[in-house]
A and B are shown apart, each in its own frame.
Chain A
Amino acid sequence: MMLKEQVFRIISQVMNVSSEEVNEGSSPESLERWDSFQHINLVLALEEEFKIRFTDEEIIQMRNASMILETLRNKGVKT
């Protein structure tokens, strides 16, 4: 649960929406500011927060919040 909250918080900070507006389905389609540039900023913020590094393929594939969560879990991120 902690991981999810943490990821939702970062999405809300980078995309400038309240954390209540973020859910597993949040994506560039549902959040206005989530364009390709803001996607870079999101990836950079996630990498800094969890001290991990995504591969280029992971960056391309993480197209919504639930895929971000799945990728982080696959990389062994717990909290």
Chain B
Amino acid sequence: MLNETYAEIQDILNKAKTDHLPKLNFSILRNVIVEPIVPYLKFLAYKMGFAAEVRMGDYDNLVQESLGVREEILNKETDSVLIFMKLENLSWTVARNFTALRTGDVQNEVLRVQETISTILGGIRKQTDGMILWHGFEFPLYPSFGIWDSQIPAGQVGTVVDLNNFLRKALRSVPNAYYVDLNLCIARVGGKRFYDDRYWHIGRAPYSREALCEIASEDFKFIRSLKGKSRKCLVLDCDNVLWGGIIGEDGLSGIKLSKTYPGSPYYEFQQEVMNLYNRGILIALCSRNNAEDVWEVFRTHPDMVLKEEHIAAAEINWEDKATNLAKVAANLNIGLDSLVFADDSEFEVNLVRQAIPEVTVLHLPNDKTVEYRNILVSCGLFDTLTISVEDRERGVMYKAEAQRKQLQGQAPDLETYLRSLEMVVEVKFADDFTLPRIAQLTQKTNQFNLTTRRYSEADIKKYMEAEDADVLSLQLADKFGDSGLVGVCILKYSEQKAVLDTLLLSCRVLGRGVEDVFVIQALKLAKRRGCEGVIGEFCPTKKNAQVKDFFPKQGFEPLSRSSKEAKETYLFLMNKPLREEPSYFKEIRSLICE
């Protein structure tokens, strides 16, 4: 999975300068030895641009630590708590000596384990809002009753399933807490290679190096999403990636693409691409070809899974791929670091890695076409903590966007165009239904984001319930479709002032005056809350340059420019008259002020 050896990873970490990187604070609570996972966690963090600190709880001290006996383990600075609570050290009989248990004994053990889970989970949440990643219980590779175990209602494997179901449910009821499926990790690595019985006996360290690498990689799918680093777009080469052969030479009937060998690896690869599309990942093309040749395959080849309508952007020409990838990113209004590029040519792969290292490259080697699908599904780069309705409809929304662009081309001026969209905007307070999407937007929005503060669902929930804060959401629909929840604003109040802690809009609704409506609504709310002024904050990043003049444009006065904090503040005094909302909206529904 990783290209570097274990020794190289440690060498890289020893030599790396990480002082300037943002911190990522892990705390590990465990009842087994997992220390060798630390280099993997630190290395994956380093590759993501973070400096990880890992604090280890004492051996088998989970309950006490979750209740707060060691403040340095769980506190406000904790980003993520990893729980390794292995069944062997919690209920030896259930894990290893199941044949000795009577039905009633099993029930008692299960209840005891469930109580322990609840105590630990509740305890941790009192100490920290950090993301909890709980590694679930593992199935026995060889159940104590042998094949009979699968035939009885409450066998050993069944008991582990029940415990995991209880754990999942408990984690769902706590914000920012997630179940990590170790049984999936075991299946991928293989049970016999997953465990290292030598170190289990020498020092109660159960997992092999390979296992720890897989577990750390799985954990980082969560961390990446939490930190807004999940990739958004898969850019595909065409020849020898989507089909075998070269369309310009082999022709439509000569390329390999079918449900049976030798075209099946390409067919199954395309199906996985479609799974990503259905999850809301943008699919783009970047190919050296005649565009017409490629589109002909999309339109007429009977075994093409991907259709023209699934492609959000395409650069099919004879220019170099680095230039074309930059065009794709610009076209889709996303950063280069949101792209994953898949290509079979070692030359192109190296060129892109050299020229634009921000782009992640998946090399699909020509002699391993049967592994294409596996390379894509195992990369984990696109994983997100939630998949919202907006995500699942993204493909349709991009199509609507294309129709809007067409209409814009026909309209005599911008306002006529905007009016013809028949936009309906709705601003309301956050509720339990909108909470996941709101947190998701704070985690992934980079461009129209004034402060780029990343919040978990737990953070948002806290602001929703707080007396001195409001969380607003904005939804937009027009005659081409529903864009869903696309804006978030968080106001914090103190001493007759409101601070715009967060103000963001999804990049696909920019340029339609939605931001004007949102700010005016927020100002109206602040006025109703009795504020005399509203402070706007702008924290510049590499990606949000387009909003650097946002507050002056909205009538705010510059207040300070603190170079140390890299934060600019602006003030809007409430004795100033509020602007009118743009008249070209068909309807502005405000559920916060009226």
Say if the beta carbon of A36 comes within 8 Å of chain B: yes
The answer to whether B35 touches A13, judged by C-beta atoms less than 8 angstroms apart, is: no
Encode B543-566 as 1/0 by CB contact (under 8 A) with A: 000000000000000000000000
Interface residues on A, range: 10 to 19
Residue with the greatest number of chain A CB neighbours at <10 A, chosen from B7, B8, B39, B203:
B7
Main secondary structure of the interface of B (DSSP, over half): helix
Say if the beta carbon of B17 comes within 8 Å of chain A: no
Say if the beta carbon of A3 comes within 8 Å of chain B: no
Say if the beta carbon of B142 comes within 8 Å of chain A: no
The answer to whether B203 touches A36, judged by C-beta atoms less than 8 angstroms apart, is: yes
The answer to whether A44 touches B36, judged by C-beta atoms less than 8 angstroms apart, is: yes
Q: Which residue of B lies closest to A35 (CB)?
A: B35
Provide the bound-state CA to CA distance between A54 and B197, in Å.
12
Q: Which residue of B lies closest to A9 (CB)?
A: B7
Say if the beta carbon of A48 comes within 8 Å of chain B: yes
Say if the beta carbon of B198 comes within 8 Å of chain A: yes
Provide the bound-state CA to CA distance between A79 and B297, in Å.
52
Number of A-B contacts (CB under 8 A): 48
The answer to whether A41 touches B205, judged by C-beta atoms less than 8 angstroms apart, is: no
Output the least CB separation between A51 and chain B (Å): 11
The answer to whether B35 touches A40, judged by C-beta atoms less than 8 angstroms apart, is: yes
Chain B residues whose C-beta falls within 8 Å of the C-beta of A55 in the assembled complex:
198
Main secondary structure of the interface of A (DSSP, over half): helix
Provide the bound-state CA to CA distance between A66 and B7, in Å.
19
The answer to whether A13 touches B199, judged by C-beta atoms less than 8 angstroms apart, is: no
The answer to whether A49 touches B5, judged by C-beta atoms less than 8 angstroms apart, is: yes
**B20-34 CB contacts (< 8 Å) to partner A:** 33
Chain A residues whose C-beta falls within 8 Å of the C-beta of B11 in the assembled complex:
13
Say if the beta carbon of A62 comes within 8 Å of chain B: no
Output the least CB separation between B198 and chain A (Å): 4
The answer to whether A56 touches B198, judged by C-beta atoms less than 8 angstroms apart, is: yes
Which residue of A37, A48, A60 contacts B6 across the interface (Cβ within 8 Å)?
A48
The answer to whether A45 touches B7, judged by C-beta atoms less than 8 angstroms apart, is: yes
The answer to whether B202 touches A59, judged by C-beta atoms less than 8 angstroms apart, is: yes
The answer to whether A13 touches B36, judged by C-beta atoms less than 8 angstroms apart, is: no
Encode A40-71 as 1/0 by CB contact (under 8 A) with B: 11001101110000111001100000000000
A-B contacts, 23 of them at CB < 8 A, read A10-B7, A13-B10, A13-B14, A14-B7, A14-B10, A37-B33, A37-B35, A37-B36, A40-B35, A40-B36, A40-B203, A40-B205, A41-B6, A44-B209, A45-B5, A47-B209, A48-B5, A48-B7, A54-B198, A55-B198, A56-B202, A59-B202, A60-B202
7 other A-B residue contacts (CB within 8 Å) besides A36-B203, A37-B36, A44-B6: A10-B7, A13-B8, A40-B36, A48-B6, A48-B209, A59-B198, A59-B199
